[in-house]
Chain A
Amino acid sequence: MSKNEKKVTIIDEKTFPRVINRIAHEIMEKNTNLNDLVLIGIKRGGSLLKDRIKNAIKNMEGVNVLSGDIDITMYRDDIFKISPKHKIETTNIPFSLDDKNVVLIDDVLFTGRTVRAAIDALFDFGRPRRIQLAVLIDRGHRELPIQADFVGKVVPTARKEIVEVMFKEVDGKDGVVLR
């Protein structure tokens, strides 16, 4: 990393849990029947965020919401171009999504292609009643008609910039920075 590289903090460590709590609140507001609610995290950042939201709901309501993880590699539209190859993570949805209210969770919403792939994937696990989208950061530059239902923060960015989301579990601290 070069020394003169600019790094702007978007969400600091202290604000991070508050944002998550707010998203959790909004999800519960819109989905009153928590028994029909399913949280699906998109690997890997979305999965970590999903775990946090799930915990937040549990702390507030005492309910263990049904949840799973999805790896969208098999559904990507640029599969013949990406290289070097990352490992495909294991998808884990050991239940049917029939008639569920699914909240798809990702850390950053950018072009919308990942979400498109994830929606495709979800249909291989049943026919959900509704799919909503929750993201921590919406950075713009959509290439598909997709928008989030729950957003932590909207951040206008340049295409070249990188939004880096950090989670305590893997990065040692929470936060979001723009590089």
Chain B
Amino acid sequence: MVNKVNWLHKDLISLEPLSREEIIFLLETAKSFEEVLERDVKKVPTLRGKSILTLFYEPSTRTRTSFEMAAKILSADTINISVSTSSVSKGETLLDTVRNLEAMSVDVIIIRHSFSGASEFVSKRVKASVINAGDGRHEHPTQALLDLLTIWEYKKTLTGLKVAIVGDILHSRVARSNLFALRKLDNEVRFVGPATLVPEDFKKLGAKIFYNLEEGLYDVDVVMALRIQKERIGDGFYPTEREYAKYFSINRETINFAKRDTIIMHPGPVNRGLEISSDVLEDKRCVVLNQVTKGVAVRMAVLYLLLSGGKVEN
């Protein structure tokens, strides 16, 4: 239990620099916000008068809706802007875009971008708080936080667990954010997948590497399947989807390699039949939809923590 943390961050860009205490504090705050989601009247005046901008350079339904829902429950005003990535090269620069938007007195900019580091770049150049909603293959901190909150609910603990993250680790920002956070909380993190998608250097960042699904899933408390990002893949990371599914798909048979009471997670959207099979998605140990609910609570907590209190420049 962490009762008081001097939360001084202007932005939430990545989990890597956060302390263990800060992560737990964030999750505990999110737990308190979960209660609001169960009320009949899902509205509190906490962030009344604040304006929150979602600036998405990549398509997303779930994350964007989740942030918007969180902001609205907290009574903030939201504005959504979608920019197609193709206009990046011909239109105005990212810097000009965010500076112009900030000039309209925006308090928070939630940004998703296909380039790693884009959120950090923006955060260093605007006074508004910046939340990284996924930058390239770097980090997706709120996704990992909602994963942790889900794990916490089902496993009743945040430490000492064995977590297998399976699939396209190389291109996954979710895998990185989860790795940093789970390691800080002293969990074992296994990266499982074909060697082309699971670079060995991740060992230096604290992950255990497995190229064999059975060994990777053995005795784990949590199985997290990642989406095969077909749009990023294409230059031969594996021969065919058929072969990938044969060796690395989470299905009714392979899930038995894990602990009997394992939980099955997936950040979505799912490629049914590729990284995870439909019957596993229907399994009662599958908590995918619960993850989505937790996402709103986590994002409320992040907005609350970044906006309340004396603001401190990083």
Which A residues are within 8 Å of any B CB, using their own CB? Answer: 71, 73-76, 79-92, 96, 120-121, 124-126
Contacts and interface: CB of A to CB of B under 8 A. Distances in A.
B6 A86 contact: no
Interface centre among A76, A86, A90 (most CB of B within 10 A): A90
A75 B44 contact: yes
B4 interface: yes
Query: What are the 9 closest A-B residue pairs judged by CB atoms, nearest first?
Result: A83-B309, A83-B310, A88-B32, A74-B44, A124-B41, A84-B6, A74-B46, A79-B308, A90-B32
A75 B35 contact: no
Given A79-B308, A82-B309, A125-B41, A87 B35 contact: no
B45 A84 contact: no
B177 to A, nearest CB: 22
A74 B309 contact: no
A84 B21 CA distance: 14
B308 A82 contact: yes
A115 to B, nearest CB: 15
Interface in B74-91: 74
A91 B35 contact: yes
B214 interface: no
B305 A87 contact: no
Interface of B: 2-7, 25, 28-29, 31-33, 35-36, 39-41, 43-47, 74, 304-305, 307-310
Nearest to A75: B45
Contacts of A126: 40
24 contacts: A71-B32, A74-B45, A74-B46, A75-B45, A76-B46, A79-B47, A79-B307, A81-B310, A82-B308, A83-B310, A84-B5, A84-B309, A85-B5, A86-B3, A87-B2, A87-B28, A88-B33, A90-B31, A90-B32, A96-B40, A121-B44, A125-B40, A125-B41, A126-B40
B195 to A, nearest CB: 44
Nearest to B30: A88
Nearest to B7: A85
Contacts of A82: 308-310
Contacts of B31: 90
- What does DSSP make chain A's interface, helix, strand, loop or mixed? loop
Given A87-B25, A90-B32, A90-B35, A80 B43 contact: no
Contact of A85 (B33, B44, B45, B305): B305
A12 B35 CA distance: 37
A50 to B, nearest CB: 18
B6 to A, nearest CB: 4
B168 to A, nearest CB: 36
- What does DSSP make chain B's interface, helix, strand, loop or mixed? loop
A73 B41 CA distance: 17
Contacts of A125: 39-41
Contacts of A75: 44-46
B99 to A, nearest CB: 23
Contacts of B74: 74
B309 A81 contact: yes
A88 B307 contact: no
Contacts of A83: 6, 308-310
A80 B45 contact: no
A84 B7 contact: yes
Interface centre among B32, B33, B305 (most CB of A within 10 A): B32
A125 B39 CA distance: 7
Contacts of A121: 44
A76 B304 CA distance: 12
A96 B2 CA distance: 31
A87 B45 contact: no
B183 to A, nearest CB: 24
Given A75-B45, A124-B43, A124-B44, A85 B309 contact: yes
A87 B3 contact: yes
Nearest to A124: B41
B244 to A, nearest CB: 43
Nearest to B34: A90
Contacts of B46: 73-76, 79
Contacts of A91: 32, 35-36
A177 B182 CA distance: 45
Contact of B32 (A76, A87, A96): A87
Contacts of A71: 32
A125 to B, nearest CB: 7
B9 to A, nearest CB: 11
A159 B4 CA distance: 25
